[in-house]
């Protein structure tokens, strides 16, 4: 239900949608909504210096604790590295 509302809102407002539900994301893209996954968004924030490694590490921890979201170890390491 939440995904449907988010997809509808993004489509109506021509907005990009931050989502990690693959099935819902595929549906959204099929109807013309641009979908960005969480790691891509975090890499963008790192590249643009919106978030530093410490804040990204905190967000990754919160995503795991609050949303049961896991990302691959290689991705985590790349996000929290100083490079």
Q: Are residues 42 and 68 in the same domain?
A: yes
Q: Determine the length of the chain.
A: 83
Picking from 62, 10, 55, 1, the residue whose alpha carbon sits closest to that of residue 36 is 10
Q: Are residues 24 and 51 in the same domain?
A: no
What's the mean per-residue pLDDT of the chain? 93
Q: What is the pLDDT of residues 54-66, one digit of tens each?
A: 999 999 999 999 9
Q: What Rg do the C-alpha atoms of the chain give, in angstroms?
A: 14
Structural domain that includes position 6: 2-36
Domain count, the chain: 2
Q: What is the pTM of this model?
A: 0.83
């Amino acid at each position: 239900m939440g995904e449907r509302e988010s997809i509808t809102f993004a489509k109506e407002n021509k907005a990009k949608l931050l989502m990690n539900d693959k099935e819902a994301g595929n549906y959204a893209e099929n109807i013309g909504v641009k979908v960005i996954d969480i790691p891509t968004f975090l890499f963008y924030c790192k590249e643009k210096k919106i978030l530093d490694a410490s804040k990204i590490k905190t967000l990754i921890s919160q995503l795991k604790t609050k949303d049961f979201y896991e990302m691959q170890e290689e991705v985590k390491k790349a996000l929290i590295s100083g490079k």
